[in-house]
């Protein structure tokens, strides 16, 4: 008989909520956010520990990155090789980390955004500081080890890092519903800050900023909002304003050049290329006419971006232009979020240092407890050996008279003499008094004869004295908080002395950049738009010299001012405005720029029907015709809008689309043409003048399955002919009908 089935009913929303919370916490705790104690994400911690276990030390040969990645993934981090290799690469890049933790050999990427070579080509090993300061005490039982994902290995829950790595190397990570962004800081200053906190736990954030004045980015640069740092480091969130470092050099001929030697940290990677493109765009858009050349002369020695300027250029004004309109001045969003006591928490600089100091006391307590236990064991053995030297003849007699090791050991530890042959009763009597411990007896039985040499015995006595001194020291450290504090501080000072480097980032209060734009000189220009949607601007003289060619090759020629705006009407009923200044100005044979690139117009989703300069349509009626037969005119003033895109007309329902836009005068006529080859010609006065928010009035009756195909504006004297129904129709010979008529079949 089958066991009775039991159905468990659950609320779907509750299951989804629980599952999502479990997933979110897994991402937050086990992937995206660093631990406040060691400043490492799980993937970073596991990679470093795996390298430690593989013996890839700083003083040993490099090993293939693929070996490290594979071993880490197989043992500790089963989340894909790309995330492990990316973490390894970042930990080796000195332009991203204040303190690189891995010594990379090969192509590990560049500050300009070049990616690292594949892991099969690169090699790596631990940096010296990583081995000594991050992993050095792992053998002293200072941290807990937890099972790995399949419980076949053990991994440290946290690394025994002796410096506040969360502040030194910073962190970036996106979790679920939260993200962390912590800037890097100078190692020496952070160590001084920790020492200051240990000496005065009530230190304020303002006092701490006298020791740690602010972030220290690997790329240098300048922090320009010093006064705002107090609020940022108090709350753990805010925005740090950064600038690159610029100097002006004189060039022959009285010219000058602006040289960028340090960049904002946010510009690391592909943003350097974007910065160069943005500077070039300033010249193309005529925001400045001072640039004659741009070159990136950066190398392994450092950043050097050179911008050559015209003679007489105002360098201060030009630098302010770069600050205002490029990423040479940028913001670094700070959100000092980390996992503390198993929970994500946003902390200011004091709480972060407090967590680190508490962790250091915990590490020191476990470390010196472990060392004390080892010294106690050593003392026990040493005292046993010293005592054995005093009765060595008796011990030899016991060993020679014993039948086996067990019998000899029983005599040494408990004075059991049964079965042992002694030379004299006195020896047997003395043997019964022996009470060595188990550990001492084992050491005595394993002792080599050369240890009985006088010098060896003397060395043993000295070693015993040293052991007693160590025990006293360790007990003092464990029993007195001040002694432990002194040890931690001395350890930090030693790390600072060996590994600290000078500050790179300058911190100050700098006034906001003010760029004085030169007034644009108004002048006549000609805009040429070709059939591919490329537009360019030329001067009238160039147009006159190439007029015939321009008329043959251009879909639209617009005469206007350089300060004007163009109005582009699309098939979706949208108006897109374009500044003439945004179009490239140049030679007649220049290609120009796609209209898509200088406006919100999208040629993949809409068709450009009509384009004209705004002053050329002001005061004139603009004609609209749609597929559903609706027609109207709108006065051009309604299209004088500040926005880049706006509705030009209302469509009459789904499926409707604008098919014709143009300027209509009182002497013009309009011809409507349906896809069933019906034609209707109307005089201009029959087209209603409405607002752009109106859909229009019906211009031509169309059947249910019929739509307007084309609409044409005919001026007086036009002889336009089109092909229809296998023949040719002369539009100017059609008789003028009435609006909302059926028209003539052709």
**DSSP per-residue string spanning 125-140:** EE-HHIIIIISTTGGG
Selection from 503, 504, 511 nearest residue 225 by Cα: 511
Name the average pLDDT for the chain.
Answer: 91
User: Of 264, 293, 327, which marks where a domain is finished?
Assistant: 327
In a domain, 79, yes or no: yes
> Is residue 216 one of the residues assigned to a domain?
no
The count of domains in the chain is: 3
pLDDT beyond 80 at 6: no
Q: What is the pLDDT of residues 318-354, one digit of tens each?
A: 999 999 999 999 999 999 999 999 899 999 999 999 9
Residue 384 pLDDT > 90, yes or no?
A: no
- Is residue 455 packed enough to be buried (19+ CB in 10 Å), middle (13-18) or exposed (0-12)? exposed
661 and 554 both lie in a single domain: yes
pLDDT at residue 1 is higher than 60: no
Based on the fold, state whether residues 599 and 741 are members of the same structural domain.
Answer: yes
The pLDDT of residue 202 is: 96
Structural domain of 80: 40-160
- State whether 689 and 543 are in the same domain: yes
Query: Does some domain include residue 421?
Result: no
The pLDDT, as a whole number, for residue 454 is 67
Confidence check: pLDDT of 2 > 70: no
> Which of 276, 306, 327 marks a domain boundary?
327
Q: Which two tokens stand for residue 126?
A: 């631990």
Say if 691 falls within a structural domain: yes
571 with 713, same domain: the answer is: yes
Asked if residue 564 is part of any domain, the answer here is yes
Query: Are 593 and 584 a contacting pair, CB within 8 Å?
Result: yes
Residues that are catalytic: 121
CATH of the domain at 300: 3.30.1360.40
Q: Are residues 146 and 261 in the same domain?
A: no
Give residue-wise pLDDT tens across range 399-424.
Answer: 888 888 888 889 898 888 888 888 88
453: pLDDT strictly greater than 80: no
Could you tell me if 660 and 707 are in contact, meaning their C-beta atoms sit under 8 angstroms apart? no
Mean pLDDT of the 291-315 span: 90
Q: Rounded to two decimals, what is the model's pTM?
A: 0.74
Q: Which of 294, 216, 290 is nearest to 260 (CA)?
A: 294
Q: 606: domain CATH number?
A: 2.120.10.90
Q: Are residues 549 and 686 in the same domain?
A: yes
Listed residues 109, 144, 160: the one ending a domain: 160
Same domain, 587 and 693: yes
- Whether 606 is in a domain gets the answer yes
CA atoms within 13 A on the CB side of 640: 11
Segment 570-579, tens digit of pLDDT? 999 999 999 9
C-alpha separations of 603 from 382, 571, 612 in Å: 89, 10, 17
Contact between 577 and 641 under an 8 Å Cβ cutoff? The reply is yes
575 and 694 share one domain: yes
pLDDT at 281: 86
- pLDDT on residue 166: 96
**Shared-domain flag, residues 691 and 572:** yes
Reading the block at residue 619, the tokens are 């005061």
Enumerate the H helices of 3-55 as residue ranges: 12-27, 42-54
532-572 residue pLDDT tens: 899 999 999 999 999 999 999 999 999 999 999 999 999 99
Which pair of tokens denotes residue 90? 């970042």
- Is 209 within a domain? no
Specify whether 537 is located in the same domain as 645: yes
Residue 506 domain-assigned?
Answer: no
Same domain, 268 and 152: no
Q: Which pLDDT does position 707 carry in this prediction?
A: 93
Q: How far is CA 96 from CA 60, 128, 220, 272, 522, in A?
A: 25, 18, 11, 14, 47
Q: What is the mean pLDDT of residues 447-467?
A: 81
Instruction: Inform me whether the pLDDT recorded for 610 exceeds 90.
Output: yes
Hey, what are 301's tokens? 């020695």
Residue 120: CATH number of its domain: 3.90.199.10
Same domain, 153 and 269: no
pLDDT at 299 over 50: yes
């Amino acid at each position: 008989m089958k066991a009775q089935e039991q159905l468990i009913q659950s609320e779907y929303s509750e299951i989804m909520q629980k599952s999502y919370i479990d997933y979110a916490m897994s991402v937050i705790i086990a992937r995206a956010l660093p631990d406040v104690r060691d400043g490492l994400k799980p993937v970073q911690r596991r990679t470093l520990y795996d390298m430690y276990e593989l013996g890839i030390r700083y003083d040993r040969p490099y090993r293939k990155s693929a070996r490290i990645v594979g071993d880490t993934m197989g043992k500790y981090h089963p989340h894909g090789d790309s995330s492990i290799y990316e973490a390894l690469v970042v930990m080796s890049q000195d332009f991203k980390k204040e303190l690189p933790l891995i010594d990379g050999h090969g192509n590990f990427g560049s500050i300009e955004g070049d990616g690292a070579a594949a892991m099969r080509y690169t090699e790596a090993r631990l940096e010296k500081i990583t081995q000594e300061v991050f992993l050095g005490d792992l053998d002293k039982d200072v941290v807990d080890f937890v099972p790995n994902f399949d419980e076949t290995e053990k991994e440290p829950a946290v690394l025994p890092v002796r410096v506040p790595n969360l502040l030194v190397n910073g962190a970036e990570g996106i979790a679920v519903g939260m993200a962390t962004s912590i800037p890097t800081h100078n190692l020496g200053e952070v160590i001084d800050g920790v020492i200051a906190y240990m000496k005065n736990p009530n230190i304020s954030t303002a006092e701490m900023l006298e020791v740690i004045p602010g972030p220290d980015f690997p790329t240098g640069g300048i922090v320009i909002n010093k006064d705002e740092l107090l609020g940022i480091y108090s709350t753990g969130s805010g925005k740090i304003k950064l600038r690159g470092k610029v100097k002006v050099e004189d060039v022959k001929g009285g010219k000058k050049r602006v040289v960028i030697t340090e960049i904002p940290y946010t510009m690391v990677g592909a943003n350097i290329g974007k910065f160069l493109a943005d500077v070039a765009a300033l010249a193309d858009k005529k925001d400045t006419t001072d640039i004659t050349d741009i070159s990136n002369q950066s190398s392994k020695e450092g950043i050097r971006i050179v911008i050559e300027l015209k003679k007489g250029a105002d360098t201060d004004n030009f630098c302010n232009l770069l600050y205002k309109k490029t990423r040479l001045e940028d913001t670094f969003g700070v959100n000092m979020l980390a996992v503390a006591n198993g929970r994500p928490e946003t902390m200011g600089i004091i709480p972060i240092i407090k967590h680190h100091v508490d962790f250091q006391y915990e590490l020191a307590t476990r470390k010196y407890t472990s060392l004390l236990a080892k010294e106690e064991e050593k003392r026990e053995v040493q005292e046993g050996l010293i005592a054995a030297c005093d009765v060595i003849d008796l011990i030899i007699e016991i060993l020679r008279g014993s039948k086996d090791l067990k019998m000899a050991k029983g005599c040494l530890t408990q004075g059991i003499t049964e079965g042992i042959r002694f030379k004299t009763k006195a020896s047997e009597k003395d043997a019964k008094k022996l009470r060595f411990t188990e550990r001492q007896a084992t050491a005595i039985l394993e002792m080599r004869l050369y240890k009985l040499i006088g010098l060896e015995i003397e060395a043993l006595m000295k070693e015993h004295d040293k052991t007693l001194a160590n025990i006293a020291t360790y007990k003092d450290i464990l029993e007195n908080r001040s002694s432990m504090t002194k040890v931690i501080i001395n350890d930090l000072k030693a790390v600072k002395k060996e590994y600290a480097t000078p500050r790179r980032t300058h911190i100050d209060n700098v006034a906001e950049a003010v760029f004085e734009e030169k007034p644009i000189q108004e002048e006549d220009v000609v805009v040429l738009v070709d059939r591919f949607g490329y537009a360019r601007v030329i001067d009238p003289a160039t147009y006159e010299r190439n007029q015939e060619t321009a008329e043959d090759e251009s879909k639209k020629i617009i005469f206007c001012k350089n300060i004007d705006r163009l109005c582009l009407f699309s098939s979706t009923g949208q108006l897109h405005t374009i500044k003439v200044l945004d179009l490239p100005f140049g030679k007649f044979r220049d290609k120009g720029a796609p209209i898509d690139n200088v406006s919100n117009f999208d040629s993949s989703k809409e068709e450009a029907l009509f384009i004209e300069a705004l002053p050329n349509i002001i005061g004139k009626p603009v004609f609209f015709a749609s597929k559903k037969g609706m027609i109207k005119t709108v006065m051009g003033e309604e299209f004088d809008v500040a926005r880049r895109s706006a509705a030009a007309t209302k469509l009459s329902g789904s499926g409707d689309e604008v098919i014709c836009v143009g300027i209509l005068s009182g002497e013009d006529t309009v011809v409507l043409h349906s896809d069933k080859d019906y034609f209707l010609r109307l005089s201009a006065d029959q087209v209603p003048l409405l607002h752009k928010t109106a859909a229009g009035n019906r211009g031509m009756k169309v059947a249910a399955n019929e739509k307007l195909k084309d609409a044409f504006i005919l001026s007086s004297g036009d002889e336009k002919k089109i092909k229809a129904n296998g023949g040719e129709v002369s539009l100017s010979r059609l008789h003028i009908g009435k609006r909302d008529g059926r028209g003539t079949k052709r």
